[in-house]
Structure 1
Amino acid sequence: MNKILELREKRAKAWDAAKAFLDAKRGGDGLLSAEDTATYEKMENEVVALGKEIERLERQAVIDLELSKATSNPITNAPTKVAEEKTGRASAEYKKAFWSAMRTRAGEGLDPTVRNALQIGTDSEGGYLVPDEFERTLVEALEDENIFRTLANVITTSSGDRKIPVVATKGTAAWIDEEGTIPESDDSFGQVSIGAYKLGTLIKVSEELLNDSVFDLEAYISREFARRIGNKEEEAFFTGDGSGKPTGILATTGGAQVGVTTASATAITMDEVLDLFYSLKAPYRNRAVFVMNDATVKAIRKLKDGQGQYLWQPSVQAGTPDTILNRPLYTSAYVPTIAASAKTIVFGDFSYYWVADRQGRVFKRLNELYAVTGQVGFVATQRVDGKLILPEAIKVLQQKA
């Protein structure tokens, strides 16, 4: 942790030096010479590199903390009490049976005890629902790969579409003369329907590796599934068009409202960022965050507010994101970079974007398909949908066409 704080302080000092250099070298027209531009970009790249190293160390610290936890809990209850046995897919029996089935060699039958235990989680499509304990690990891994899940409202549905009631328009009060009639003013309601789209991936493992007891099959599949699914999810949550995938925040239909259109197709000004900030209604700004591409952050680093302070401010506190106009800043590779007509900055309260997980993620083992190459395939699928249920809660900045 001390190392992280040292790097944060070092990054803050490097950023102060870069700002001082930028202010000192700007000419009367506000531009830098080619030589000074190269020097500044080198200083800025150091700030970016320090930021990425901080992120790596923070992820490492989380993993170290998890691995340092005790593997067993001390006995604190009375001797006469027995710990409650977990049932269903959370039971130790089901977990053991699941991974025994995953490791069973092609052509070998399952032990009757294993087969009976797996009946608890047999999926209608022939796969096995992953154990509850593993599913919790999997969701945590998805969040590590996918910043969207940490910001959005994640719900779990069992079957069918989820209908979410939304107040479309609100009634108002009115001044009334003595003995006058109170006018009617009703709220109008709509609803957003969230379904489930299927997302899947195929993982191949050699038979030698699969049957090696030293190889941590659980960790490998969890990590690889998380990486693939997390990346594809986040792409859809931002840019999905609702056709065979979730409706993303940047979708033309069903997405966020355009708060500001820039005057330039290739640049963003400080006034336009401020206009975007205030295009969002005040109640939403309390929990709003900025999300943009790393390349866009680089362009904004040179902008100042009306008090001469740079809009982008590096965080010096561990676990706290950088800020723009005192609101948290997150980056995603799936928000477009600056280009004509691109939606480059997202600002709003992401809790109004709902991610619906259809309960249970499914694994299937493919024994024969890759037998000639000495491999075993694992098909991993999940069903998920996502929609912005209140478009006014998030605004986007769009570049000029």
Structure 2
Amino acid sequence: MSKILELREKRAKAWDAAKAFLDTKRGNDGLLSAEDTAVYEKMENDVVALGKEVERLERQAAIDLELSKATSNPIINQPNQQDGKLRTGRAADEYKVDFGQALRGKPLLHNVLSTGVDADGGYLVPTEFERQIVMGLEEANVIRSLAKVITTSAERKIPIAATHTTAQWTAENAAYTESSPTFAQKTIDAFKLTDLVKVSTELLQDSMFDLEAYIAQEFARAFGVAEEEAFCVGTGIGQPSGIFLASGGGTIGVTAGSTTNITVDNLIDLVYALKSPYRRNAVFLMKDVTVSALRKLKDSNGAYLWQPSVQQGQPDRFIGYPLYTSPYVPGVEAGALPIAFGDFSNYWIADRMGRSVQRLNELYAGNGQVGFLATERVDGKVILAEGIQLLQMAAS
């Protein structure tokens, strides 16, 4: 290794000397004489020769290192085991390989996909593939980053204390006053969300095309858009219930006095319409057009209420609270609900276990394409309405 370093230093000095010679020997016209040209070319050839020698020595060192390795390694773990943990089912490497083969319409190598066939005829995606899709959703969906996300295998019923007990001052020997707390129940189920991607057979035949990454990206984008719209304004019929529903969403805490204008007083009232325990983790949620209007609001001293974030990755703040935006929040118009303020962990998102992908070989064969159908089941619902307050514009 010292010989290589020595030659590198020698080559660097030779190149510096060649450049210095060139600078000093050029005439006013920028040209070299025939004698100087011959000298410079020799110096340049010497630099090239030193470089080739360095490359030869580096190759020798690499080969020596490779040949010095042991020809075999002892088996210290069990088959299908990584980092000391046994990997079976959809987490197994064999399952991932066969899943990629199935996507491309090629013969299965391990015949293990039978462990993951869903009721609709597709294959449950491998653990690594599914995790990639979930990460994509988290990046594209702001509601998922704010809400409480749970995983379910069946319908889940969530008990809620509708009313609380009330303590009473009681005189000595007097009868006790009974309290009758009541309980409600919210049910989170799962609604079916699908996406169909068509891929040309030419792309499938191209071994350099990363089919799995492309499909994961497309499904993540499409599912993220559909989910966030439903989490904001979904009707609850065949889709999740949105936060901005007048009935079934958050609580309407403040009604503005105008159909088109939001005042500072409206926003302050909205903040304090939320109970103080929820305000500890509360944030604003609105669309960009509404933010544009709020950025122009000033306090009584003429200072803007907007506080842009100075730290990368942190949200802007408004009246001291973080502010997030979504394009699917209603805009400012008569009777609309353009702003939500609250602790959004009171909005629950339930993911039903197992997203699946089905390959459609025949449906688009006439167009030289193959279809891939992705399916997921998800629900979303405001569980405790008092934890999210909504601002409503005047009806007229």
Short-chain TM bin? 0.7 to 0.9
- Which SS does the other structure have where 2:379 is aligned? strand
Kindly provide the amino acid, as one letter, of the partner of residue 203 in structure 2: L
Say if 2:114 is the partner of 1:128. no
- Which position in structure 1 is the counterpart of 2:97? 96
Deviations 1:64-104 (A, max 9, x none): xxxxxxxxxxxxxx985663231111111111111110011
Q: Superposed, which structure 2 residues align to 1:203-242 within 5 Å?
A: 203-242=197-236
Note closer, same or farther for the CA distance 1:177–1:323 as it changes in structure 2 (3 Å cut): same
- Which SS does the other structure have where 1:347 is aligned? strand
Give 1:179 shift.
1.8
Compare 281-290 and 300-309 and name the one that shifted more.
300-309
Note closer, same or farther for the CA distance 1:180–1:307 as it changes in structure 2 (3 Å cut): farther
- Which position in structure 2 is the counterpart of 1:262? 256
- Which position in structure 2 is the counterpart of 1:143? 138
Give 1:186 shift.
3.2
Q: Superposed, which structure 2 residues align to 1:22-101 within 5 Å?
A: 80=76, 83-101=84-102
- Which SS does the other structure have where 2:151 is aligned? strand
The list of structure 1 runs, each at least 4 consecutive aligned residues, that deviate by more than 4 angstroms after superposition, is 78-82
- What is the identity percentage for the equivalent residue pairs of Structure 1 and Structure 2? 56
User: Which of 369, 378, 383 is the matching residue for 1:375?
Assistant: 369
Give 1:309 shift.
3.6
Q: Tell whether the 8 Å contact from 2:254 to 2:392 is kept in structure 1 after alignment.
A: yes
- Which position in structure 1 is the counterpart of 2:318? 324
Give 1:306 shift.
4.8
Compare 252-261 and 381-390 and name the one that shifted more.
252-261
- Which SS does the other structure have where 2:269 is aligned? helix
- Which position in structure 1 is the counterpart of 2:327? 333
Kindly provide the amino acid, as one letter, of the partner of residue 178 in structure 1: E
- Which SS does the other structure have where 1:246 is aligned? coil
TM-score (norm 1): 0.77
TM-score (norm 2): 0.78
Give 1:165 shift.
0.8
User: Which of 140, 148, 152 is the matching residue for 2:147?
Assistant: 152
* CA RMSD across the alignment: 1.5
CA distance in structure 2 between the aligned counterparts of 1:296 and 1:148, rounded to whole angstroms:
17
Q: Tell whether the 8 Å contact from 2:137 to 2:223 is kept in structure 1 after alignment.
A: yes
User: Which of 359, 366, 383 is the matching residue for 1:389?
Assistant: 383
Residue segments in structure 2 that go unaligned for 5+ positions in a row: 1-73, 79-83
CA distance in structure 2 between the aligned counterparts of 1:122 and 1:80, rounded to whole angstroms:
33
Kindly provide the amino acid, as one letter, of the partner of residue 97 in structure 2: K
Q: Tell whether the 8 Å contact from 2:282 to 2:343 is kept in structure 1 after alignment.
A: yes
- Which position in structure 2 is the counterpart of 1:202? 196
CA distance in structure 1 between the aligned counterparts of 2:156 and 2:342, rounded to whole angstroms:
24
CA distance in structure 2 between the aligned counterparts of 1:81 and 1:139, rounded to whole angstroms:
30
Deviations 1:109-167 (A, max 9, x none): x34x54x30011110111101111111111110011100101011111112x1101111
Would you say how many aligned residue pairs link Structure 1 and Structure 2?
317
- Which SS does the other structure have where 2:199 is aligned? strand
Kindly provide the amino acid, as one letter, of the partner of residue 92 in structure 2: S
- Which SS does the other structure have where 2:389 is aligned? strand
Residue segments in structure 1 that go unaligned for 5+ positions in a row: 1-77
- Which SS does the other structure have where 2:144 is aligned? helix
